[in-house]
Amino acid sequence: MDKKEDVIVDLNVPKDRKIIGFDAGTMNLVSAFQNSKGEIETKLIRNMYLPLEKEQVSLTELSNLDHVVDDETVYIIGEDAYRLANIFGHKVRRPMSHGLISSEDIDDIDVLSMIVEQLVGKTKNGVCVYSVPSPSVDKENDITYHRGVFARIFSELGYTCIDFNEATAIIYSECQDENFTGLAFSYGAGMSNVSLCYKSTPVLNFSVARGGDWIDDSASRSLGTVPNRVTSIKEKNTDLSNFKVGSKKERRIREAITYYYKELIHYTLDNIKKKIDKDLDNVDLPEALPIIVSGGTSKATGFLDLFKGIVEEHEFPFEIKEIRYAADPMTAVAEGCLIKALSEVE
């Protein structure tokens, strides 16, 4: 569990109410809450699982593994599922795909419900604001079912729940000094979400159906390897300014990763330029905007410098104040959802 000691939200919240913000991410699920000192704390678990029949594993073995159990099956979850899948060359199962609830496996939603319960617990008087993505401009997708499933999960756990746009949540957590005005990019695993807000009012929200998974899948197809292997290499100190490190095979994977990272950034910036030109043709934003970059996919070394360089190739109809990372790209969405939840309770 991580603690952010420098973030304190001064709101009077009833002691008997459990207030949480929740980032419902494709790769990671993150909850945020206030401790007794008013500081924001977060808890994260990988949104994935590996099913095993009960007779395949002993209670002694399970004692060292993060897991949930139903009547017939043991599900290894989170980081343990990811590591075991890599060790044995299996493809880990994931309840979400392309930013939304997956339709691939009948067990997905049941396992997701158990993982969420382990992360946030049950309550009798809770409030939860959870993130939802924007519809994609490059793919027909509908968030209605996705929104409803998470609402049902939290309701069954005892929470009154409110959905909140993923990228707008970053503005809430990172742009308080700018009066909640800014342009946020949330580079997740399943999607890349974008939000432009002025004084907490969303001006433009959209997503593209590409993210970290698109990088992994594209690189794995190019090199004839499994996506898990690419993900593992990508998360081991990937430096987008120098892919010539590691073994020969690793260097080939890192090279492919670098090319697809560049393409992803170009793709999101090209699409936001099109959206602004189309939807905000007569809108005059009265001040320079900070650009906030967040999401697990953005954590690769050199990402921000690469992003800044590609931004310079585009012309936007507003002045850019600065381009900066979220304080914690992994938890910014959950923290923004918590701030929204606290403001709703207030």
Strand 159-165 and strand 126-132: pairing? parallel
The pLDDT > 70 percentage for the chain reads 92
CA angle 161, 338, 231 (to 5 degrees): 95
User: Whole-angstrom Cα distance, residue 209 to residue 211?
Assistant: 7
Q: Return d(Cα 152, Cα 161) in angstroms, integer.
A: 9
Closest CA to 9 of 42, 41, 43, 38: 38
Q: 9 pLDDT exceeds 60? A: no
Asked whether residue 138 carries a pLDDT value surpassing 70, the answer given is yes
Look up tokens 């690419």; give the residue.
Answer: 230
Query: Which residue bears the tokens 């929104």?
Result: 147
Which residue, among 119, 122, 96, has the nearest Cα to 108 in the 3D structure?
96
Domains plus CATH for the chain?
A: 2-43+98-177+331-345 (3.30.420.40), 48-93 (no CATH), 182-325 (3.30.420.40)
Mean pLDDT score across all residues of the chain: 88
Whole-structure pTM value: 0.89
Query: Model confidence over 25-77: pLDDT tens digits?
Result: 999 999 999 988 889 999 999 999 988 776 666 655 666 788 888 777 888 88
Is the model more confident about 20 or about 15?
A: 20
For residues 178 and 230, what is the distance between their CA atoms, to the nearest angstrom? 38
Report whether 292 contacts 182 (CB < 8 A).
Answer: yes
pLDDT tens track for 169-197: 999 999 999 999 999 999 999 999 999 99
Q: Looking at the predicted structure, is the pLDDT value of residue 15 above 60?
A: no
